[in-house]
Structure 1
Amino acid sequence: MGAPEPVDGYRKSASASVDLRRSQRTGRRVPRRAAAGRRSFTSTLKALETLADAGAQVSVHVVDLDNHVHVLAGDDHLTLPVGGLGVVPLLIEVAAAFDDGSLDPLEIVDRSTIDPVSTSGLWRHLHAPALPLEDLAVLAATAGDPIAVNALLQRIGHDKVRARIDSLGLRRTALLDRFRDSRGPDDAPHVSVGSSREFAGLFSALVNSQVVDAAVSAQVSEWLSLNQDLSLVAAATGLDPFAHDHDAHGLLFINKTGRDRGVRAEAGVLAGPRAGVAYSLIVCFDDLSIAHRLRAHDVFRVLGVELMEYTH
């Protein structure tokens, strides 16, 4: 998935962001200061440039939650496939419908009424043939369960999700289709698309209670705080994938990942004693071998390490 033009744009915007961050450093209060090397994201920039030189498309955006400075940005305007990360607007619409009473959280959905997806997920392994909508939202947020996502999407409808995306001001984000075992010529090429700038902004708005209202923001944040995929950026946090919503060291973390063939994406919020950030990283690469995939994964982990250094 090579893209020479975005690579050039990436280098320019990343460099500009580093300069902006340096210009802001002297204005921070003392507890926020750290050595230049700890706040420069130099390892992340190097890893992203190496991956881009190899033909991958990379898009990254990191914003400081306190002063709203964009501390790292690279091709963050690009609209790229993001896999299950695009489920977040669906969860927002579900939470809003629960909150205004138009949808009953305990409404039961029978799995037999949903087109099966056999490639991943938990519900297909469970004996329970039916679950309430609220449990399906938890499965969608914590495990990216494709049948649960499809059930929610079927119940809510694409039109309402699109309207919600528009109301949130997301111009480069779309939930295009349900999950499928295979995609034919008449199907959308991807489940969802989006930009790292918009997803980082969306997660920032969630933790600041600015998505729909405080109750909806809190509900979606609670679901996402249970996410068990901590294998990418979150690998650097040391959190327990199965119990990290109340960390003993006061680390605040919520995230959602997206995966597809040749696609890895993650967005989230990480807050520690020194700072808090909202972040998003999208990588589209040629998934030709395990080595290609691991190189893509390594970039997320490098970013995770430097985010931890920034916030701690």
Structure 2
Amino acid sequence: MTGDVHFRLDPFELSLRDIAEVELAQLHALTVGVSWPHRAGDWQMLRELGQGLVLVDEIGRVVSSVMWWHYGPAFSMVGMLVTSPRLQEQGAGHWLMAEVHRRNPGRRLGLTATRAARRLYRSLHYGFGQEVWQCQGIAQRPPGSDADADDAGLRDMTPADLPSLLRLDQTAMGCDRSEVLARLLAESAGRVLEREGQVVAYALCRPFGRGHLVGPVIAATQQDAIAVTLPHVRAHEGRFLRVDVPATAKAFAAEIHLCGLPIYDSVTAMGLHGPPLPAPIPGEARRFALASQALG
């Protein structure tokens, strides 16, 4: 029972609980306290898809959290390591990460580290991977873009596209995110690019944080990635939009910048027992935007 485990950080007496046992409002208050943009609904989806732990103080307030999501039998993403400011220098994050490792023996783990958390993860033997750019702003139609263009092969996504999405995603990511993608599809508007009866690119867009988030974006080329992303930009013109782009996709990030979404911040993908993600399956599909920093 996680609730029976106690942890003392002078002068705090904390108890460990399963993240499913606490109210969404408490989790939302935790991220508000550190200026993270997550809404209660964002927490709800993450909690339904994964597992996690929280530390609760003597009067029942959630003061730290961590989560993980299994992508197949050998790899998991770790995220939502959040610690209230009064405990950030007391070792709560280190203790929770040690508990994650204890509960996931032998698994490769990947995560996306904020600048503030990199030193912690390095102390836990996570290696550096690639930089990820948080591109965000008020969406605008890029110069030369025709909002009424009828792009050949570009259409709205349907539930019947899920097997094609899974195939492309597993090729690009090297792991099985089937449960996550099924849930994201239910929460998102989606566009796919189809050629000769085959889906070759897709982009999802869903409510998140201050507005909407575009991701994941999976495609073979930058041109295809832009083709499935621009409809979401047009649909949210004048509103807040965010896209998390691997730094390896520089040309895609430059196009996103033209849509009013410059680089706002950067984070670092890191991995334990290997790179931040498994090796992609041989094929043309690659990741141009993350599902989110937590989900990869």
TM-score normalised according to structure 2 size: 0.26
Greater per-residue strand proportion: 2
Per residue, is there more helix in 1 or in 2? 1
